Amino acid sequence: MKLNRILAIALLFITPLQKIYAQSGVKQTGNVTAVTLSGQQVDITTDNAFIKLTVYSPTIVRVRMDKQKLGDDFSYAVIGTPAKTRVSVDQTADEININTDSLKVNIKKQPFLVTFLTPGGEVINQDEPGLTTSWVNESVTTYKHMQENEHFIGLGEKTGPLDRKGNAYTHWNSDTYAYTTNQDPIYSTIPFYIGVHHQVNYGIFFDNTWQSDFNFGASNNRFSSFGAKGGEMNYYFIYHTHIADIIRSYTSLTGLMKMPPLWSLGYQQNRYSYYPETEVMRIAETLREKKIPADGITLDIHYMDKYKVFTWDESRFPNPTSMTKKLGDMGFKVTLIVDPGVKVEKGYGTYERGVKDDIFAKYPDGSYYTGQVWPGWCHFPDFTNPKGRAFWANELKKYASEGISGIWNDMNEFSTWGQKAPDNILFNYEGKGAAHPQVHNVYGLEMIRSSYEGYKAARENKRPFILTRSGYAGLQRYAAIWTGDNRAENDHMLLGVRLLNSLGLSGVPFSGMDVGGFTGGASPALYARWMQIGAFNPYMRNHSGINSKASEPWAYGEEVLEITRNYINLRYRLLPYLYSSFYEATQNGSPIMRSLTIDYTHDENVYNSLYENQYMFGKAFLVFPFDGVTNYGKLYFPQGKWYNLYNGRVQQGNQKTAIDLGISKLPAYVKESSIIPMQSLVQNTTQTPADTLYLHVYKGSINNKFVYYEDDGASFNYEKGEYYKRDISYNPTKKSISFSRVEGSAKSKFNNIKLILHGFKEDSVPVKINGRASRANKDFQSLMVPISRFDPTGFSNPVEGENVQSIVFRNSSEELTVTYQD
């Protein structure tokens, strides 16, 4: 009796948990109070929130939540819309169930809690019970139960390890000169990650442009979470059995890249800065003299008149049009840097026109925001205003008329001295109005949108090349991205590999880093290694800073020059393979640099820090990046059979090994059953290669298909059907290599195909083409290539030997099948 009285008295003094939440500023979602079902959509009201779940496809479900009624649905990132999907929705007093043929969603009502499950009922992802989603003042966070041994990958341009487990990250686009290998945030925001556990994998895209934070078990052992300083809780849940399909679904939401101009896949030479014009011409002439293939020269800010965008320093560059013509005649395209800051200066045309059109971002009192950057005090175009984008497009016409081929968007985080732009800068935000905290992370995205759309219009039917330092989810629709002002250090080179792999996991296929390092000066060994790795990057640009050592390939001695030239040569021979890989990226978002987690998702070794930098270049090449000082390298070969690129020796998979590292060759292997088209060496992409396509096929035990693609490499005519495409398939069971009928109205640049078979037999392989022996058909010939003379890379180094058979035949547009006996 006394105990009961004590408990009763104690209860009077115990504040209910909900009251504690209210007093602390934490507001939980609470219990479900109302549900409305409508086709592919479920609207839910809870004690403290309004929620809308929408089925976008059988594998994508969107979740929107806010403390107040949901506002207009708008996104700069998402261009996909819900597809008509067979959905069943039912509810009981305790729960709601949404089912597609690929995914189940269970929603508990008391309190609100979401669980995503496979059709078989396995948990893929679920809210953390007791935490779910909550608000602290205007910040909103969703907490997810962290599964045992869960891996987290992607999240765009984030430093640190491949596996994000145990770390936390912030999205706030930042100018981070000479950033460290674990610095966060850096330049761009892609709030999309992939979770992997228990043989399942999923993606979550948190589409909120405010400063956002992701926690993957940092300082806690209970949950992963994502949230933002303002705006809605708005995320897309994606489930597939393969990571490649998760990326495909993510890019179905945020868009696919267009075909890049072919020249942008060639080697690009840059420095901060090449000037005057005589220096630019010296660099171009030296590249040609030393037989270093190259397609681009990039000019940094010193080409401008006192750093003012859309101007030239006439003393350094007296006739830009004449210069671009001379460089064009040598096979070089010119890319120019542009910054968003417009100098406040009467008489400066760009400034005067901007004021006249009233396109600059403003303070609440109507005056223009002014920040200091390279030219001095500047105003900043409001790229969230259609008028601002039209203004920028009009200014770009000047560069187009002068023969400039590429636009490099820099400082577009946006960056100002002090790195602290005020919160009260106001933007148009497509007529909706928004302040700087909501706009900051999409400012760079809308700048590159302006550059892409403006330059596409200004150059009529020529593909623009747009490069950016900053952006948001969806940036792949407009630009390639590079990883900013890195350091000429071994760990930075390997960090760059992880950054590019992470960008690939996050829907951005076209990416690169400053090969050789931007700040400081690389050692000859580091430079050589970096250039080797750079040849296996989607975008290969050599770039160094103003106060650092010159970083052209000839600046490090004859041995390094030879190594560098070998790998740039290899890249140019691989252009048919690389260009076809980019075509695939335009179709399904497939990255060019492929983290091993894409194809070997549940192999724990690929997450190991010893092997996390390994990657696939396209689907054929396994690349092993090592620094410039390590003499003994540890390699992990995933499942399958792997051919040494340089000598054809076979390495079995599921094995770890170590090798002595020389500086002359980067360890690289070819996956069994790979199909690799190559061409003869050219010095730039304006040159026509020899009329034989070299098609390398590596014997294997798995079926493979390669989509071979050509177009004119420069225009948008491919969108009208002017392309050449065919499927090339290898079937080891049928002992056949088949070529589908050609699609598209364009003619191939190659009149002949030389089929080169790797690892089949030591002796000549009997071959039939469309059922007839090759030697009995005048259109075909069967040849053995002497082992001592065969080198698939074209390197001058001796080749140790490989079993190789080659067959040459006419490149017919009809279906064709090559069969062999083995």
Q: Is the dihedral of CA 288, 292, 298, 302 positive or negative?
A: negative
What is the number of domains present in the chain?
Answer: 2
- The residues, any chain, with a CB within 8 Å of residue 646's CB and separated by 6 or more, are 665, 668, 793, 795, 797, 799, 800
Query: What percentage of the chain reaches a pLDDT higher than 90?
Result: 88
Is residue 45's pLDDT more than 50? yes
Domain membership flag for residue 351 = no
Which pLDDT score, from 0 to 100, does residue 23 have? 58
Distance CA 665, CA 531 (A): 11
Average pLDDT score over residue span 531-543: 98
| β-strand pairing of 233-239 with 60-66 | antiparallel
**Residue that finishes a domain, picked among 194, 218, 239:** 239
Least confident range of 335-344, 551-560, 711-720, 799-808: 799-808
Q: If phi over 0 gives left and psi between -120 and 50 gives alpha, with beta otherwise, what is residue 673?
A: left
Q: Show the tokens assigned to 609.
A: 């820090």
Domain membership flag for residue 793 = yes
Is residue 782's pLDDT more than 80? no
Residue-by-residue DSSP string for 186-220: -S----EEEEEETTEEEEEEE---S-EEEEESTT-
Domain membership flag for residue 82 = yes
Which CATH number goes with the domain that contains 742? 2.60.40.1180
Q: What is the Rg, in whole angstroms, of the alpha carbon atoms belonging to the chain? A: 28
- The residues, any chain, with a CB within 8 Å of residue 780's CB and separated by 6 or more, are 769, 774, 807, 808, 809, 810
Q: Looking at this protein, which amino acid is placed at residue 249?
A: S
Domain membership flag for residue 454 = no
Average pLDDT score over residue span 663-685: 97
Is residue 489's pLDDT more than 70? yes
Which runs of E-coded beta strand occur in 398-525? 406-409, 426-427, 434-435, 465-468, 480-482, 511-512, 514-515
Is 413 designated active site?
Answer: yes
Which pLDDT score, from 0 to 100, does residue 428 have? 98
Dihedral angle at the C-alpha atoms of 450, 451, 452, 456, nearest 10 degrees? Answer: 110
Distance CA 469, CA 539 (A): 13
- The residues, any chain, with a CB within 8 Å of residue 408's CB and separated by 6 or more, are 298, 335, 336, 337, 338, 467, 468
Domain membership flag for residue 378 = no
* Inter-residue contact 105 to 114 (CB < 8 Å): yes
Distance CA 707, CA 290 (A): 35
* Inter-residue contact 663 to 529 (CB < 8 Å): yes
Residue-by-residue DSSP string for 451-473: HHHHHHHHTTTBPPEEEES---T
**Could you give the angle at the alpha carbon of 738 between the alpha carbons of 734 and 742, nearest 5°?**
155
Is 101 designated active site?
Answer: no
Query: What percentage of the chain reaches a pLDDT higher than 70?
Result: 93
Is residue 796's pLDDT more than 70? no
Domain membership flag for residue 435 = no
Is residue 789's pLDDT more than 70? no
* Inter-residue contact 552 to 568 (CB < 8 Å): no
Which pLDDT score, from 0 to 100, does residue 175 have? 98
Task: Identify the active-site residue in 207, 339, 453, 485.
Answer: 485
Distance CA 470, CA 467 (A): 9
Pairwise pLDDT comparison (763 vs 241), residue with the higher score: 241
Which pLDDT score, from 0 to 100, does residue 170 have? 98
Which CATH number goes with the domain that contains 115? 2.60.40.1760
Least confident range of 320-334, 338-352, 617-631, 774-788: 774-788
Q: Is the peptide bond before 82 cis (omega within 30 degrees of 0)?
A: no
Domain membership flag for residue 775 = yes
Q: What phi and psi values does residue 127 have, to the nearest 5 degrees? A: -60, 150
**How many other C-beta atoms can be found within 10 angstroms of the C-beta atom of residue 357?**
15
Domain membership flag for residue 542 = no
Give residue 775's domain range.
675-820
Which pLDDT score, from 0 to 100, does residue 785 have? 44
Is residue 3's pLDDT more than 50? no
Is residue 12's pLDDT more than 60? no
Average pLDDT score over residue span 671-687: 98
Least confident range of 171-175, 338-342, 440-444, 631-635: 631-635
Number of helices (H) and strands (E), helices first, in the chain? Answer: 13, 52
pLDDT tens for 304-332 read: 999 999 999 999 999 999 999 999 999 99
Task: Identify the active-site residue in 277, 410, 446, 453.
Answer: 410
pLDDT tens for 568-610 read: 999 999 999 999 999 999 999 999 999 999 999 999 999 999 9
**Average pLDDT over the chain, rounded to whole?**
93
Task: Identify the active-site residue in 277, 339, 395, 413.
Answer: 413
Distance CA 162, CA 151 (A): 9
Distance CA 765, CA 578 (A): 29
Is 430 designated active site?
Answer: no
Which pLDDT score, from 0 to 100, does residue 72 have? 93
Judged by DSSP in three states, 427 sits in strand
Which pLDDT score, from 0 to 100, does residue 94 have? 97
Is residue 1's pLDDT more than 60? no
Distance CA 117, CA 114 (A): 10
pTM of the model: 0.95
**Residue that finishes a domain, picked among 204, 239, 274:** 239
Q: Show the tokens assigned to 592.
A: 């060019």
Is residue 762's pLDDT more than 70? no
pLDDT tens for 728-758 read: 999 999 999 999 999 999 999 999 999 999 9
pLDDT tens for 193-240 read: 999 999 999 999 999 999 999 999 999 999 999 999 999 999 999 999
Q: If phi over 0 gives left and psi between -120 and 50 gives alpha, with beta otherwise, what is residue 188?
A: beta
**Residue that finishes a domain, picked among 239, 261, 282:** 239
Is residue 11's pLDDT more than 90? no
Pairwise pLDDT comparison (791 vs 650), residue with the higher score: 650
Is residue 628's pLDDT more than 90? no
- The residues, any chain, with a CB within 8 Å of residue 583's CB and separated by 6 or more, are 259, 707, 709, 725
DSSP assignment letter at 93: S
Q: Show the tokens assigned to 142.
A: 């969703």
Distance CA 617, CA 619 (A): 6
Q: Is the peptide bond before 192 cis (omega within 30 degrees of 0)?
A: no
Which pLDDT score, from 0 to 100, does residue 548 have? 84
| Residue 765 pLDDT level (bands cut at 50, 70, 90) | low
Q: What phi and psi values does residue 394 have, to the nearest 5 degrees? A: -65, -40
Distance CA 800, CA 279 (A): 42
| β-strand pairing of 621-623 with 615-617 | antiparallel
Is residue 31's pLDDT more than 90? yes
Distance CA 430, CA 434 (A): 9
